[in-house]
Each structure stands twice: as structure tokens, then as C-alpha cells.
């Protein structure tokens, strides 16, 4: 099973939930930090030295001797990464999405591809956890290709937890696509609720089963609960608002290791996720039987 | 020769827009015939990236020899250079004032971008 941990609002506790859940699982699990603009999951784990792999996307390179300046490449490119006015095309590698379209439409076959570095994929281990992190280079703005590359490292047959970036934009969609279930982490505040609603709309659009984890239980108000009740969204766990949790997180430690009194939280979450997964499977069986 | 001005209006009295990439309109002025036309550039106002490139493409396809604007970013400047279009930097308030300054020869051409992308 591939589980994604997402949120609308940033700073709700996605990484805290992901990393503690991975440790709680006990058996072999893949943990993917898909927040490639600022990966931080490694800070919570004593990891082996990471194996680094350079990731790049193919961008066009024009052979001037072959190019007759027809401009087909520029007309094709929707991202304005290649522009031509009867002259040698001007290329903006930072705008290129690596689709290869310009190369395909070039009548003179003057375009080849070169790799443009975007970032690193780091793989390391910590006990039962295999951590795969994407790390976008500074100044690179396109996260989805690197996120897809991180996900392509997933091995079949071993469960995976994907720590998503915050928000509801392309990097999050790239993370959530193809996952079996999503946990949306929120906090019971007006801001948390506002962004939770956006995240719920997104996950429903993607048709992925999901539940909610309420973090910092005890602050704010009860509107998150009212919303989930009205929408029939299961609340999988509540994490109390407790200074000790904040302290161990800021030290880069795990709740399940450092606070034994709270270790049952993540056992409960694991149980509820399995229950929800079972219910979804039965429901989908009934749907297909009908 | 035709010259382009970045603007938010449709007359010569309209303000010269200091932005090139995200200027709402361009006035294309024909110096020989003392006649101008207005082209729309609104498609670019809401793009998150590449507004300068698209505006530069629009200008290059319009057949002008030069563009008079407030500021020009690096991507737009590369496209305009490749298309052989001179970029004149101008602080005048209106298109008419900018046209007058151009005719008097007081405007200077830019030899590189004078602002970073997304400067405003």
C-alpha cells in the first residue's frame, strides 16, 4: 500500500505524522520525502550516509548547421522554452518541461536533448525505514519532474509513505497521483479548516480514499470536527497540543521513541488506516459487483 | 520604421508602462506614416512565468524595429536581441512624451537587461 500524507496548510505536522508512522510500522517501509523544495525528513532519523544520484530533465540543444529557422519548435512549445523567429532558436532551459515535443516536430532533425540538472535524489536507511528524498537545486522552480523521479524509485511489495509538500498545487498532485490512500493533516483552527477544505476538494477530484488527522488538539475551535462530521470524513487520529511534543520535534526526535506515553497514538493511526483501507476495498468490491 | 511602446492605454496620451513583460498593451507607431495601432498583451498579465518571453515574441512578430519601455528583464532581452530589436529605456510619463524623446534622439538603447525577472 502507498499512503500519502498531505495537508492544505503548511506546518500542520505532515512530516511528524509520516516519520512516526513509518517507525511505528516496525517492518520494512519506504519513506519518500516529496517536499523536494525543502526536504527535512532526514532531520528526524539517524540515517546512513545517503547515496546521491543527480537528476536532470532533457532540454533541447539545436545544431545551428541543420536549423533553417522555420520556427516549428517555438510554435509547438506552450511553455515558451524555445523561441524562434527565422533565426537560431533561443532556448530557456529553466522554462522547459522536458516533453521532447520540439525535437519531435523539427523537420530538419536539428534538435537533440541534453540533460539539465534539477537536483538530487538521496537514498539512505534508518532501521526499518528506507528514506528516499528529492532535493531540488536552488533556483530551480519546477518540482513535479523530480517528485516523479523520487516516486519512480518505489519498490513493489514494500509499503510506502509519501510525505507531500503543503498546498494543493502541481507538486502535491504529482505526489498524490497513484497512491492508495491519503491522510490529510490539519489543525483545529479557522486557517487549518480553510485549507483542509481545499485539500478535501483536491483529493476527491483525484478519487483517492482519505481520512483526517487533527494535530494540536485543544487549540482553536470545533469547526474542523463539524466539517468532517457533515462531510462524512473519518478522523483517524487526534494529536494533543502538548509542549513536550513540540520540544522533541524541535530536537529532531520521534514521538514514538521519546514519549512512550504517546506511542499508542501512532499504533491507533495505523489501525485506523488499515480499517479504512479494508472498508474502501469492500466498498469498491460491492461497486464492481453491482 | 515602426516602434513599439509599452502602455496601459490606447492613445498617445496614455501612460508609458514601465513594465515590458506585463504591459497590458503595446502601441505600434509608424514613423513614416505618422500612424499607430494598438495590440493587446493581456494574455500575459496572469501567467506566472514567461511573460517577458511571450511579450518579446509578440513584439518580434509585430514587425517593429525597436521597443521603448521602462524596464526589460533578462529573458525578454535575450529574445528581443535574437530578433534584432533594439530596446530603449525611457522614464517619460506618456507615450507621446516618449515618442518625442525618441524623435529628438535623447533615448539610450540598453545593451543588457536592466532588471531581474519578476522585479515588480
What is the model's pLDDT at position B120? Answer: 57
Mean pLDDT for A44-57 is 96
Q: Tell me whether residue B114 is in a domain.
A: no
Longest Cα pair distance anywhere in chain B, in angstroms? 37
- From B11, B3, B1, select the one nearest B87 (Cα to Cα): B3
Q: Which of A85-99, A201-215, B10-24 has the lowest mean pLDDT?
A: A85-99
What is the model's pLDDT at position A84? Answer: 87
Q: Please name the fold of domain A56-117.
A: Alpha-Beta Plaits (3.30.70)
Distance from CA of A92 to the nearest CA of B (A): 8
- From A36, A41, A55, select the one nearest A161 (Cα to Cα): A41
Q: Do the chains contact at B79 and A95, CB–CB below 8 Å? A: no
What is the model's pLDDT at position B46? Answer: 66
Residue A214 has pLDDT above 90, yes or no: yes
Chain A residues close to B61, C-beta within 8 Å: 85
Look over chain A and give the mean of its residue pLDDT values, rounded to a whole number.
94
| Residues B6-37 pLDDT 10s | 999 999 999 999 999 889 999 999 999 999 99
What is the model's pLDDT at position A58? Answer: 92
Strand order across the beta sheet in which A29-33 lies = A51-62, A111-126, A129-136, A29-33, A160-163, A2-6, A181-186, A210-217, A235-240
The architecture in CATH of the region A2-27+159-289 reads 3-Layer(aba) Sandwich (3.40)
Mean pLDDT for A6-34 is 96
Residue A171 has pLDDT above 70, yes or no: yes
Q: Tell me whether residue B115 is in a domain.
A: no
Question: Residue for cell digits 535575450?
Answer: B78
Distance from CA of B36 to the nearest CA of A (A): 23
Q: Which of A197-201, A239-243, A278-282 has the lowest mean pLDDT?
A: A278-282
Q: Tell me whether residue B29 is in a domain.
A: yes
Residue B49 has pLDDT above 90, yes or no: no
Q: Where are the beta strands (DSSP E) in B2-78?
A: 2-7, 25-30, 35-40, 66-69
A177: left (phi over 0), alpha (psi -120 to 50) or beta: beta
Mean pLDDT for A62-79 is 92
Look over chain B and give the mean of its residue pLDDT values, rounded to a whole number.
89
ipTM: 0.78
What is the model's pLDDT at position B42? Answer: 83
Task: Give the whole-angstrom CA distance, residue A175 versus residue A199.
Answer: 13
Between A64 and A151, the higher pLDDT residue: A151
Full domain range(s) for residue B79: 2-109
What is the model's pLDDT at position B119? Answer: 61
Please name the residue of chain B whose CA is at the shortest distance from the CA of residue A79: B50
Sketch the domain layout of chain A as residue ranges. 2-27+159-289, 56-117
Identity of the residue in A87, A88, A92 whose CB atom sits nearest the CB atom of B53: A92
Residue B44 has pLDDT above 80, yes or no: no
What percentage of chain B reaches a pLDDT higher than 90?
60
Taking one residue from A and the other from B, the number of pairs with CB-CB distance under 8 angstroms is 31
At residue A228 the predicted structure's pLDDT band, cuts being 50, 70 and 90, is: very high
| Residues B85-109 pLDDT 10s | 999 988 888 999 999 999 999 998 8
What percentage of chain B reaches a pLDDT higher than 70?
93
Task: Give the whole-angstrom CA distance, residue B71 versus residue B56.
Answer: 13
What is the model's pLDDT at position A66? Answer: 94
Cβ distance A245 to A239 under 8 Å? yes
Asked if A90 is an interface residue toward chain B (Cβ–Cβ < 8 A), one would say yes
Task: Give the whole-angstrom CA distance, residue B25 versus residue B4.
Answer: 10
Asked if A87 is an interface residue toward chain B (Cβ–Cβ < 8 A), one would say yes
Residue A96 has pLDDT above 60, yes or no: yes
Q: Do the chains contact at A83 and B61, CB–CB below 8 Å? A: no
Chain B residues close to A83, C-beta within 8 Å: 53, 56-57, 79, 82
Which CATH number characterizes residue B11's domain? 3.30.420.130
Asked if A114 is an interface residue toward chain B (Cβ–Cβ < 8 A), one would say no
| Residues A122-140 pLDDT 10s | 999 999 999 999 999 998 9
Tally of domains in chain B: 1
What is the model's pLDDT at position A42? Answer: 95
Q: Do the chains contact at A90 and B82, CB–CB below 8 Å? A: yes
Amino acid at each position: 500500500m502507498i499512503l500519502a500524507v498531505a495537508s492544505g496548510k503548511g506546518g500542520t505536522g505532515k512530516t511528524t505524522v509520516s516519520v512516526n508512522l513509518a517507525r511505528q510500522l516496525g517492518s520494512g517501509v519506504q519513506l519518500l520525502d516529496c517536499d523536494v523544495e525543502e526536504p527535512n525528513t532526514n532531520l528526524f532519523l539517524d540515517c546512513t550516509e545517503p547515496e546521491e544520484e543527480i537528476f536532470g530533465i532533457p532540454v533541447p540543444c539545436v545544431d545551428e548547421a541543420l536549423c533553417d529557422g522555420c520556427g516549428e519548435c517555438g510554435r509547438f512549445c506552450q511553455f515558451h522554452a524555445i523561441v524562434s523567429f527565422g533565426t537560431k532558436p533561443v532556448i530557456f532551459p529553466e522554462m522547459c518541461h522536458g516533453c521532447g515535443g520540439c525535437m519531435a516536430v523539427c523537420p530538419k532533425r536539428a534538435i537533440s536533448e541534453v540533460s539539465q540538472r534539477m537536483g538530487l535524489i538521496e537514498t539512505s536507511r534508518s532501521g526499518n525505514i528506507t528514506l528516499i528524498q528529492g532535493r531540488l537545486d536552488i533556483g530551480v522552480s519546477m518540482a513535479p519532474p523530480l517528485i516523479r523521479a523520487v516516486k519512480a524509485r518505489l519498490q513493489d511489495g514494500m509499503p510506502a509513505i509519501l510525505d507531500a509538500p503543503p498546498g494543493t498545487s502541481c507538486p502535491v498532485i504529482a505526489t498524490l497521483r497513484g497512491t492508495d490512500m491519503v491522510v490529510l493533516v490539519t489543525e483545529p483552527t479557522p486557517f487549518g479548516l480553510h485549507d483542509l477544505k481545499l485539500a478535501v476538494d483536491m483529493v476527491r477530484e483525484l478519487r483517492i480514499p482519505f481520512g483526517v488527522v487533527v494535530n494540536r488538539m485543544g487549540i482553536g475551535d470545533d469547526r474542523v470536527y463539524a466539517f468532517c462530521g457533515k462531510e462524512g470524513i473519518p478522523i483517524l487520529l487526534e494529536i494533543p497540543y502538548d509542549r513536550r511534543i513540540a520540544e522533541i520535534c524541535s530536537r529532531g526526535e520521534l514521538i514514538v521513541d521519546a514519549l512512550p506515553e504517546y506511542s499508542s497514538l501512532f499504533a491507533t493511526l495505523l489501525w485506523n488506516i488499515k480499517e479504512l483501507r479494508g472498508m474502501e476495498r469492500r466498498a469498491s468490491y460491492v461497486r464492481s459487483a453491482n | 520604421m515602426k516602434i513599439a511602446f509599452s502602455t496601459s492605454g490606447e492613445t498617445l496620451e496614455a501612460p508609458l508602462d514601465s513594465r515590458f513583460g506585463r504591459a497590458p498593451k503595446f502601441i505600434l507607431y509608424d514613423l513614416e506614416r505618422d500612424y499607430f495601432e494598438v495590440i493587446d498583451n493581456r494574455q500575459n498579465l496572469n501567467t506566472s512565468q514567461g511573460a517577458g518571453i511571450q511579450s518579446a515574441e509578440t513584439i518580434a512578430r509585430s514587425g517593429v524595429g525597436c521597443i521603448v519601455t521602462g524596464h526589460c528583464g533578462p529573458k525578454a532581452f535575450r529574445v528581443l536581441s535574437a530578433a534584432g530589436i533594439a530596446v530603449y529605456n525611457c522614464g517619460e510619463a506618456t507615450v507621446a512624451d516618449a515618442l518625442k524623446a525618441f524623435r529628438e534622439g535623447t533615448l539610450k538603447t540598453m545593451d543588457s537587461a536592466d532588471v531581474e525577472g519578476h522585479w515588480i
